[in-house]
Amino acid sequence: MNTTVQNILIVGAKSDIARALARQYAQQGATLQLVVRDTAEIEADLADLKIRGASAVVSLRLDLMDTEAICEFVKKLETLPDVVISAVGYLGLQDVTEKGPLEMQRVVRSNYLGPAQLFELIAERMQKRSAGVLVGISSVAGDRGRASNYWYGSAKAGFSAFLSGLRQKLQGSGVRVITVKPGFVRTSMTADMQLPSALTTTPDKVAEDIVKAVQKKRNVLYTPWYWWGIMKIICELPEIIFVRKKF
């Protein structure tokens, strides 16, 4: 049995999926580094995770909207983790984003540019060690743009493409890159949305799938699994038909 204590860094640690991941890794006895904009917001989580079995838990401050802050964060990161997970996401409102340049920037920077910059810098350090896992939580929304969320979807598409390219670049280096594409998940981000219950899952289920994907050395994970088939059908629809659909 492998008794090595893993060091897991989770970015966007306030999100529901991130919290579910932290609980699962705590139960495995991992050391956790939780990254948020405001560490006071997860203060209660630290004690809870220790009770659940985490070897150690620390909170770290980082704003992914700040390019210079990301550079400084990686330079000053004392313990290079075994696994880095980006659980950052900002849905926004499509009609608001369409009309607001600042909101456009927030959506793109939160879902793509910030996490991508962070991963690029951490990957460089992992390469020197010849080991590490980078897990980027993207979305099925990035597989094909839809009228209802094309700003969010395009940002996630960019992140997915980045992860694919980084994975190819790091092939054979000892550093692995996993792209995670959740479908509908019941979270605070989707609380005001009417989601189809049959196709909607929980943060705990997504977290469970991610932990298994890391263990099994997966490259791309659709979660739940059936979203692979759903998105394959959607992506293969001819554009002339797709543009007339409302889903």
pLDDT in tens, 41-69: 999 999 999 999 999 999 999 999 999 99
- Domains located in the chain, CATH noted: 7-242 (3.40.50.720)
Distances (CA, A) of 181 to 84, 140, 213: 16, 5, 12
Cα(179)–Cα(167) distance, integer angstroms: 9
pLDDT value at 231 more than 80: yes
Task: Give the pLDDT score at 247.
Answer: 64
Tokens of 193: 């949305």
Residue 161 or residue 98, greater confidence: 161
Helix axes 43-52, 16-27, angle to 10 degrees: 30
Give the mean pLDDT of 7-13: 97
Distances (CA, A) of 21 to 28, 67, 96, 146, 193: 11, 26, 31, 29, 23
Name the percent of the chain lying above pLDDT 70. 98
Nearest to 32 by CA among 71, 70, 87: 87
Q: Per DSSP, which regions of 94-203 are E strands?
A: 132-137, 175-182, 184-185, 200-201
Question: Which segment of 26-30, 92-96, 143-147, 200-204 scores lowest on mean pLDDT?
Answer: 92-96
Cα(92)–Cα(96) distance, integer angstroms: 8
pLDDT in tens, 136-149: 999 999 999 988 88
Give the mean pLDDT of 226-233: 96
Nearest to 85 by CA among 132, 46, 153: 132
Cα(96)–Cα(73) distance, integer angstroms: 31
Task: Give the pLDDT score at 112.
Answer: 97
Give the mean pLDDT of 208-234: 96
pLDDT value at 187 more than 70: yes
Task: Give the pLDDT score at 193.
Answer: 74
Query: Which of the four pLDDT bands, split at 50, 70 and 90, describes residue 2?
Result: very low
Task: Give the pLDDT score at 95.
Answer: 77
Task: Give the pLDDT score at 1.
Answer: 39
Query: Which of the four pLDDT bands, split at 50, 70 and 90, describes residue 3?
Result: low
pLDDT in tens, 89-109: 888 778 778 788 888 899 999
Identify whether the C-beta of residue 173 lies closer than 8 Å to the C-beta of residue 127.
yes
